[in-house]
Amino acid sequence: MDFETLIPVIRRLALEAGDKIMEIYNSDDFEVKAKSDDSPVTEADEAADALISAGLVQAFPEVLLVTEEQADSHRERAETFLIVDPLDGTKEFINRRGDFTVNIAYVENGVPTRGVVYAPAKERMFYTLADGSAVEEAGPFAKDVIGTTAPIRVSDPDNAALLVVASKSHRDQATDDYIGKYAVADMKSAGSSLKFCLIATGEADIYPRVGRTMEWDTAAGHAVLQGAGGKVVRFDDHTPLTYGKDGYANPFFIAYSPTVELKEA
């Protein structure tokens, strides 16, 4: 893969998908359907998926594409592939809370090494450069011209006063029990893959996820966090979270700045 080509393409597609999503988000009403697993899907999910998929297939026809909204794409397996969640945080979108993102990532040998996370309602965009390092770009965003970018880096946290971020829509007692093992100075909730990006920028130190996620939910945020010096490990044994798993389902995991002293599950 030529990363000098990849990054501008996934950045542009994320922005174009964001425009389509916001057009629907700002409309008076939109249809919400239920998928086979009872999770919600909207016309914004489907429109963004169609746009991104067409763009990626045209630009990288030889690379396997896995997307949340195309069940047929979940049947193929590979070590290296593109993976897309066209609208991560659909519940946030439906409730007009703004914490939703467009996620596009490239996975190499089971590791997400490049990616973009765009939060159109928040007007924040994070991505990896061709060399794998992570940046945040300041808006307004032009499709074909990269604007002002700033390198992002994880915090060097105080383990006696940690900044924790947790899911806004999927918080449960198991999550709270695990967070209770740490000395927490501040606690915030965020939707979608923004949680990874908050750690990548140093706005949070640790994000434990004790709940169901899929690889398309996490790959782009994982790539950005890794590019900023962060890590994502399995919750049970603290080994690295890998991709290309059967069914593209994730185990529970922890995303964090490496100097956080992880507690056992």
Check the annotation: does 237 bind a ligand.
no
The answer to whether residues 174 and 120 belong to one domain is: no
pLDDT tens digit string along 173-206?
899 999 999 999 999 999 889 999 999 999 999 9
Position 168 pLDDT exceeds 80: no
Q: Which residue range is the domain that position 32 belongs to?
A: 3-151
- pTM score of the predicted model: 0.95
Find the CATH number of the domain harbouring 86. 3.30.540.10
Q: Is 86 exposed, middle or buried (0-12, 13-18, 19+ CB in 10 A)?
A: buried
Inside any domain, residue 224: yes
pLDDT tens digit string along 6-27?
999 999 999 999 999 999 999 9
The answer to whether residues 177 and 47 belong to one domain is: no
- Mean pLDDT along residues 223-242: 98
The answer to whether residues 147 and 173 belong to one domain is: no
The answer to whether residues 100 and 222 belong to one domain is: no
Confidence at residue 38, expressed as pLDDT on a 0 to 100 scale? 64
Confidence of residue 91 (pLDDT cuts 50, 70, 90): confident
The answer to whether residues 183 and 147 belong to one domain is: no
* Least confident window among 31-35, 113-117, 136-140: 31-35
The answer to whether residues 10 and 50 belong to one domain is: yes
The answer to whether residues 120 and 247 belong to one domain is: no
Cis peptide before 140 (omega within 30 of 0): yes
Check the annotation: does 68 bind a ligand.
yes
The answer to whether residues 14 and 118 belong to one domain is: yes
86, 121, 151 — which closes off a domain?
Answer: 151
Q: Rounded to an integer, what distance in angstroms lies between the CA atom of residue 22 and that of residue 26? A: 6
Check the annotation: does 172 bind a ligand.
no
Torsion of CA 154, 156, 162, 165, to 10 degrees: 0
Inside any domain, residue 116: yes
Check the annotation: does 177 bind a ligand.
no
The answer to whether residues 18 and 114 belong to one domain is: yes
**Average pLDDT of the chain?**
94
The answer to whether residues 56 and 114 belong to one domain is: yes
Q: How many domains does the chain have?
A: 2
Check the annotation: does 16 bind a ligand.
no
112, 131, 151 — which closes off a domain?
Answer: 151
Inside any domain, residue 157: no
Confidence at residue 169, expressed as pLDDT on a 0 to 100 scale? 67
Check the annotation: does 163 bind a ligand.
no
Confidence at residue 75, expressed as pLDDT on a 0 to 100 scale? 85
Confidence of residue 235 (pLDDT cuts 50, 70, 90): very high
The answer to whether residues 106 and 169 belong to one domain is: no
Check the annotation: does 99 bind a ligand.
no
What percentage of residues in the chain have a pLDDT greater than 90? 80
Inside any domain, residue 204: yes
Confidence at residue 187, expressed as pLDDT on a 0 to 100 scale? 93
Confidence at residue 8, expressed as pLDDT on a 0 to 100 scale? 97
- Mean pLDDT along residues 34-44: 75
What percentage of residues in the chain have a pLDDT greater than 70? 98
92, 119, 151 — which closes off a domain?
Answer: 151
The answer to whether residues 84 and 8 belong to one domain is: yes
